[in-house]
A and B are shown apart, each in its own frame.
Chain A
């Protein structure tokens, strides 16, 4: 049997594979549970022992997107037949749909604030990282340390000053306020990660572009940026995940206009207690944008792992 120092043996591969599968299983079970709960009826969702097999229902999703009111059975009889499956589900619970819920708006707020702050963090972070990587900046090391130091305490430690400041400045419960806040938190991460990637790009490419007749900015735009794409993509994912999932500041600083989905989902109250299927449905839909974004940038993430493996 051939023996290689670099190739793992088949036993090593099996052990490694089992560990990966086990880890994936542990992390995916809660997600799968949320996904399943979204398709259960409210009684099924709180039954004990928990039901693995159940009849799927769209009730959670219908409840998530609608507001409903209870009517008497006599009144229900007089109504015209239900126009669609949603009304039919609702009437089975002796209720009628009176309008849309706020979930759509909150979800849209999350999209605006999450992607807005990610874009701003990456935009400012890329320019700053390029500057720190390429130019002689006075007190460069101190500035970089200062930028990093903004992450040394949990952001929530400054919640009260920010709350007071935002009230004075009129930034409370505004999209701009939330975008600025998440950008401020994310930008240190963005600058440091991106500076690492920029440092890896040899200066010769820009010099070649300068000699080929381009200005400094054009060289940055045409030569550096495409090569930093991997770093930008992975940094963007980190920034988006933070801004998307942030809960504490969202609870504190938003209540209406700019409220994001995370503080909204737990407030979905059903009849006689929390409406677990609706909440699970909200969480499932809430997961999708980050999932899609990550899958879209997957190619860059994989390239990020092998970055630097090519001949230098």
Chain B
């Protein structure tokens, strides 16, 4: 395992004047043994960054180091990285066992048959696919396929694991199981992982570091908690948190700094019926009972807000409630944070 460093890496596509930056001078340090999640909407450049590290794309500018080695010009094979793709990843003409053996048999690793057998048995045990080893890979269910493709990365001892939304095509139950499994494996192996997702739960639960991407730029990099509690911009604040952060004009509540244009309130940071001065009253439009929590959709002077309340509180549709922000985040007109 090794650390990975990206140094002002850029990659653009398209002809001449229509060139668009998929990755725009990104510098990023991924520490050895850390679980890094790249978060961003579709088209933010997450997958391109992963492919740049894998060597499937060559950067226009900048350099990429794995460990002490400059790998900018290396082929994927020379980099010794393992990658789990979102889909299509298992070789359909091979069995599960052959799929797992494929990277080990490569000219890069040239593993002995006994060693291959041993490693496959270990990985199959961990991923609970031992009974599927002789199945054709296309005869598996979606969850099994994805476990095998994670297994194909695990049989190796690569410098870094790259994962491109590996859980996105699975159903909710399997996703949460595999999420835990992956995190446990990563911790046990002390593996360096670069993980792309747009699922904030995956980002929050698995990551040691989260990088938020916006239009090819890395806008913030830090621990999940830091990014959640201390976002640098309104964009970052709205990437994490479910339901999303509520935004209102800054002067809606008293006490905003002068530079602020927008006030951001996490749903859990809105106090209901505090009885304190400065509270605004609104009407409940909709109540969502999720079991462990209840979400209120409230209209306050033509603005919609979402807030969380304790499920035992009995508030219904049409009720009037008063609202007060608690430790709100303020943002300037350009979206940057005002402290």
Let me know if B107 and A204 touch, CB within 8 A.
no
Whether a CB of chain A sits under 8 angstroms from the CB of B151 is: no
11 contacts between A and B (CB under 8 A): A202-B88, A205-B91, A207-B85, A208-B85, A210-B56, A211-B81, A212-B77, A212-B103, A213-B106, A214-B108, A310-B138
Whether a CB of chain A sits under 8 angstroms from the CB of B92 is: yes
A305 to chain B minimum Cβ distance, whole angstroms, is: 17
Using Cβ atoms and an 8 Å threshold, which residues of chain B touch A310?
Answer: 138
Let me know if B107 and A215 touch, CB within 8 A.
yes
Residue of A nearest to B149 (CB): A208
Using Cβ atoms and an 8 Å threshold, which residues of chain A touch B88?
Answer: 202, 204-205, 312
Most buried by B among A204, A205, A212: A212
Using Cβ atoms and an 8 Å threshold, which residues of chain B touch A205?
Answer: 88-89, 91-92
Whether a CB of chain A sits under 8 angstroms from the CB of B93 is: yes
Residues of chain B at interface, number, CB under 8 A: 25
Using Cβ atoms and an 8 Å threshold, which residues of chain B touch A204?
Answer: 85, 87-89
Whether a CB of chain B sits under 8 angstroms from the CB of A218 is: yes
Whether a CB of chain B sits under 8 angstroms from the CB of A223 is: yes
Partner of B75, one of A210, A212, A226, A227: A210
Using Cβ atoms and an 8 Å threshold, which residues of chain A touch B92?
Answer: 205, 227
Q: How far is the CA of A215 from the CA of B75 in the complex (A)?
A: 8
B residues contacting A by CB (< 8 A) are 54-56, 75-77, 80-83, 85, 87-89, 91-93, 102-103, 106-109, 138, 152
Let me know if B152 and A212 touch, CB within 8 A.
yes
Q: How far is the CA of A207 from the CA of B55 in the complex (A)?
A: 10
Using Cβ atoms and an 8 Å threshold, which residues of chain B touch A226?
Answer: 93
The proximity string for A residues 205-234 relative to B, scoring 1 for CB distances below 8 Å and 0 otherwise, is 101111111110010000100110100000
Q: How far is the CA of A218 from the CA of B81 in the complex (A)?
A: 18
Let me know if A218 and B56 touch, CB within 8 A.
no
Let me know if A214 and B85 touch, CB within 8 A.
no
Using Cβ atoms and an 8 Å threshold, which residues of chain B touch A223?
Answer: 91
The proximity string for A residues 189-208 relative to B, scoring 1 for CB distances below 8 Å and 0 otherwise, is 00000000000001011011
Q: How far is the CA of A207 from the CA of B88 in the complex (A)?
A: 10
Q: How far is the CA of A118 from the CA of B60 in the complex (A)?
A: 43
Let me know if B82 and A211 touch, CB within 8 A.
yes
9 closest Cβ contacts across the A-B interface? A213-B108, A213-B106, A212-B103, A204-B88, A226-B93, A210-B76, A202-B88, A213-B77, A211-B76
Q: How far is the CA of A204 from the CA of B152 in the complex (A)?
A: 14
Q: How far is the CA of A202 from the CA of B138 in the complex (A)?
A: 14
Q: How far is the CA of A204 from the CA of B50 in the complex (A)?
A: 14
Q: How far is the CA of A226 from the CA of B136 in the complex (A)?
A: 14
Q: How far is the CA of A101 from the CA of B93 in the complex (A)?
A: 47
Q: How far is the CA of A143 from the CA of B86 in the complex (A)?
A: 34
Partner of A212, one of B87, B93, B106, B138: B106
A269 to chain B minimum Cβ distance, whole angstroms, is: 52
Using Cβ atoms and an 8 Å threshold, which residues of chain B touch A214?
Answer: 77, 106-108
Q: How far is the CA of A218 from the CA of B110 in the complex (A)?
A: 14
Residue of A nearest to B108 (CB): A213
Q: How far is the CA of A214 from the CA of B89 in the complex (A)?
A: 15
Q: How far is the CA of A227 from the CA of B83 in the complex (A)?
A: 21
Using Cβ atoms and an 8 Å threshold, which residues of chain A touch B77?
Answer: 210-215
A36 to chain B minimum Cβ distance, whole angstroms, is: 44
Using Cβ atoms and an 8 Å threshold, which residues of chain A touch B102?
Answer: 209, 212
Using Cβ atoms and an 8 Å threshold, which residues of chain B touch A213?
Answer: 77, 80, 103, 106-109
Using Cβ atoms and an 8 Å threshold, which residues of chain A touch B103?
Answer: 212-213
B198 to chain A minimum Cβ distance, whole angstroms, is: 19
Q: How far is the CA of A230 from the CA of B133 in the complex (A)?
A: 25
Partner of A208, one of B75, B91, B93, B108: B91
Residue of B nearest to A218 (CB): B107
Q: How far is the CA of A41 from the CA of B150 in the complex (A)?
A: 70
Let me know if A211 and B107 touch, CB within 8 A.
no
Using Cβ atoms and an 8 Å threshold, which residues of chain A touch B87?
Answer: 204
Q: How far is the CA of A294 from the CA of B102 in the complex (A)?
A: 32
Asked if A211 meets B93 with Cβ closer than 8 Å, knowing A204-B85, A204-B87, A204-B88, the reply is no
